Amino acid sequence: MKSLLLVPFCFLLNSQLGQAQQVNLPIGMADHEYKMMDSYLESRTLLRGTTTPPPFTNLRTPAQWEEVQSLVITWTGQYNGIHSQIVDAAQEECEVIIHCSDSNSVKSTLTNNGVPLTNLSFLEVPFNSVWIRDYAANSVYVNDVDSLILVDWIYNRPRPSDDVIPDAYAAHLGLELFSMSQSPSDVMATGGNWMADGYSTSFSSELILDENQGGSGQGLTYPNHTAAEIDQLFSDWMGIDNYIHMTNLPYDDIHHIDMHMKIANEETLVVGEFPQGVSDGPQLEANIQYVLSNFTTEWGDPFKLVRIPMPPSTGGSYAPSAYYRTYANHIIVNKSILLPTYREEYDTTAIRILQEIHPGHTIVPIDVDNNGENLISSGGAIHCITHSVGVNDPLWITHKQLVDTFDETNPYQVDAMIKHKSGIASATMYYKTSLASTYTSVAMTAVGSDMWTADIPAQNAGTTLYYYVEGTANSGKTLQRPITAPDGYWKFNVLNSSVGVNELGWHSELGQIYPNPASQITVIPVNANKMTTGSLKMYNMIGEVVTVLHEGSFPATQKNFFIDAGKYPAGIYQVVFVSEGHTQSQQLVIK
């Protein structure tokens, strides 16, 4: 673990860099900071920690939807209202660790804002900025579920007080901290440019390569590694064996992927969507198609995609002509989702999409675009100013979700990997065929390699099945997956084979349009169980094509298409989806 005796060195270095306790720094590099990078990078010799790889086997970086014991923030005084809302929501889910300069002042502000002072810890330590997502350490489990450690990187800003914040909360939690700060294992990275699936796959933009290729002629002592060396370092330190690097987006100045995507679960990516051809939309779409064409989930399937609209400015502009507004920059804290919000006409759509992906979760909207505390104008949102710490005693449950089927004869097999350091005493699968009914429990059978299985009886066409899995460890700990069960669940449909199916069992459908009637952003979902070609068009009442939403290939997943209903005259329209000889339509009312 890094020694807390390093704090005096941190003060010394802050003085050398001329930015002691400066807190109003942007998420990107401030102009005056460029000249400080040499001194900052050379100072890494002062910031020593456990600088050799963790001496353990089967390291695993948990996913964001797994259990967390703490949410960490840095209270700078810039965003007291936003921070108060974060603390208020998160303290109901876990401990909130608040790094600050004056805990009494923070407590007074929280109390004045009606936030109870429960489940909170205050660490009075130096800091430089609010962007703790980028400089905090990451949770890593030893032997998948045995014990928790923290792994830290070199922060890519000359902010030495920020860079040692993990020392404080690691000591508070009694966790061992490993630091990738010394050659040959030195790595510069940021938490906003990092996402993991809970197995061994992670995502970053190519910023991770750019900032670890040496001085690049600037005379700076940046880490110097090839892409293969970086991949090996993340394997050795964090258990990542499939590190996906995506092309930087041209208008996202900081190149952090949390500004446009989120891993929702082991199979699903939530991706921001711009109007066709606008802003970072073309490069973002190219990146996603690259991922779909070259990488798969843990179970060998293409990732599912859920699109979520990127809201424009009040004048209708996107980056680079406006702030980079995004809903992807949310954080999951056990059973709650803290969501950045902007304007109601866009927020309601984002909330509905996230609620469909995460049933049972409490979605907490937090305005980051208001005049009093315009966080998004500084280049980040809720995910950027929070970080989480996994639980010490994880009960890990993963499951490949069942998909819609035409089978009315055979039972539906539910398989789950369930793992705990004490072993699993029992597991149960629960299912029901109506949200209004009660769940039926089915004991699961252990089949080896931490796998458990149970069957849902065959059902008639037209049935929707809701189900979840529960595991109980030998230690007595019990956990459900989804974590929000029984309020949350997975679901699938038993389909009528006479609708939307050919001899190969192909199925596609135009999903329910919402909101309808519409006046602003409108979502038009299309679902297919294999890649197909066709068109999606909107017609007026005299049969004229008003707009072509998409023409060409449709992916084997749910894809949301969007229109701004406010741009069309009020009236009744038909949205028509044509694919492989099948035509489906829905009426859309624009008010």
**42 within 8 A of 358, measured Cβ to Cβ:** no
525 and 476 in a common domain? no
46 and 161 in a common domain? yes
pLDDT of residue 17: 42
156 and 16 in a common domain? yes
Block means of pLDDT (10 residues each) for the chain, 591 residues, are: 34 41 75 80 63 90 98 97 98 98 98 97 96 97 96 92 93 95 92 97 96 69 92 97 96 95 96 92 92 91 92 94 96 98 94 96 96 91 98 97 91 97 98 97 96 97 96 98 98 76 57 82 81 88 88 81 87 88 86 88
CA 161 to chain centre: 26
386 and 400 in a common domain? no
Reading across the β-sheet that carries 201-205, which strands appear in turn? 195-196, 201-205, 242-246
Domain assignment present for residue 498? The answer is no
Q: Is 255 left (phi over 0), alpha (psi -120 to 50) or beta?
A: left
DSSP string, 1-34: ---GGGHHHHHHHHHHHT-TT-----SS--GGGG
Domain boundary among 356, 373, 390: 390
302 and 250 in a common domain? yes
Q: How far apart are CA 467 and CA 402, in angstroms?
A: 10
**N-terminal to C-terminal alpha carbon distance within the chain:** 61
512 and 485 in a common domain? no
**38 within 8 A of 218, measured Cβ to Cβ:** no
Structure tokens at 104: 């009494």
Domain boundary among 343, 363, 390: 390
Domain assignment present for residue 274? The answer is yes
Burial class (CB in 10 A: 0-12, 13-18, 19+), 17: buried
Domain assignment present for residue 499? The answer is no
416 and 341 in a common domain? no
488 and 544 in a common domain? no
538 and 418 in a common domain? no
CA distances from 591 to 217, 219, 517, 520 (A): 58, 60, 6, 9
**397 within 8 A of 450, measured Cβ to Cβ:** no
Domain assignment present for residue 97? The answer is yes
553 and 485 in a common domain? no
Structure tokens at 87: 């603390």
pTM of the model: 0.85
The tally of domains found in the chain comes to 3
Domain assignment present for residue 403? The answer is yes
Domain boundary among 390, 409, 431: 390
CATH value at residue 73: 3.75.10.10
142 and 30 in a common domain? yes
Domain assignment present for residue 120? The answer is yes
Q: How far apart are CA 345 and CA 244, in angstroms?
A: 34
pLDDT of residue 416: 97
CATH value at residue 539: 2.60.40.2950
Domain that holds residue 411: 396-493
